[in-house]
Amino acid sequence: MTGIRQLTEQDRRARAEANEGLPTLAFDATTPYDDYVGTEVLHQLQRPVTDVPEELSFLVTTQVMELYFGLLRSEWLLAQRQLDADDASAATQTIRRTVRHFQALNAAWASLSWLTPAQFNGFRDALGEGSGFQSALYRHVEFLLGNKSEALIRPHRRNPRAHRELVEALHRPSLYDSVLAFLARAGYPIPRAVLERDPVTEYEPDPAVEKVWAEVYAGPLAPLAEALTDLAEQFSDWRYRHVMAVRRSMGAKPGSGGSNGLSWLERSMRRQVFPELWTARTLM
């Protein structure tokens, strides 16, 4: 980053002393903050297509969510690498961190909770066929959580990078797959059929895995189980808030992306991630 000069603790102390405790006000070019955050570019990315004032809130909130999707993807890929290295402590810490990310992501729905049908209708037609269903990063997040579908990659065929990343994610183990493989290496009796299944296929709950989680909760890896449960709960909360935002702003009208809207989202909401983490509680 050309506008940023690294500072040591000694540099910062000297600067504060020279400034007599006041902030630095003079810079040779743009401020280091602007250079680091990319504020000039960031604030040029809001390009509403109507003059309806409510559209800007809708656009900014959507862009914030996209940034969080990218952050979650990066963090879960890191957690998978940590699990592959059998570092359960680091993976647990990373997953716990993403629970906080998800809390912030879910809170973003508050910026749209006031949107009435009349307000949404003021700019909805101008969005054309644009739909959150088409978010490549959200699709990647779902794939990492194990909700995979080859058909849902098709909208991105004209975007080579997004399409390639989604194809790779489809064929790679999900976060849950990585967790189960780690548990197997740690000595837990995960069935061979679960470990060797095709990662492209939808995960089917297994009673033996359910029993393993009950055992995990009695041992030192219980914090990993709870971090995953917290994550699954936050994801369920995300989908619920999405359903409620749609129900409030447009009711049961057809979706812009070609689906039947609310009914599609309600069906998606019923799909559980990390299923045996929930059913194992009956065995405890």
Q: Is 163 annotated as a binding residue?
A: no
Type of residue at 108: A
Distances (CA, A) of 194 to 148, 203, 204, 281: 16, 9, 9, 20
- Rg of the chain over all Cα atoms, to the nearest angstrom: 23
Q: Are 203 and 191 in contact (CB under 8 A)?
A: no
- Cα 241 to Cα 110, 142, 245, distances in angstroms: 9, 16, 6
What does the alpha-carbon distance between residue 99 and residue 232 come to, in Å, rounded to a whole number?
9
CB 64 within 8 A of CB 42: no
Amino acid sitting at position 249: S
Quote the CA–CA distance of 106 and 237 in Å, as a whole number. Answer: 7
Q: Which two tokens stand for residue 280?
A: 């194992």
Identify the CA nearest to 167 among candidates 146, 189, 186, 143. Answer: 143
CB 75, CB 43: distance < 8 Å: no
**242 among annotated binding-site residues:** yes
3-state DSSP call for residue 198? Answer: coil
Show binding-site residues for heme: 242
Show binding-site residues for substrate: 124
Show binding-site residues: 124, 242
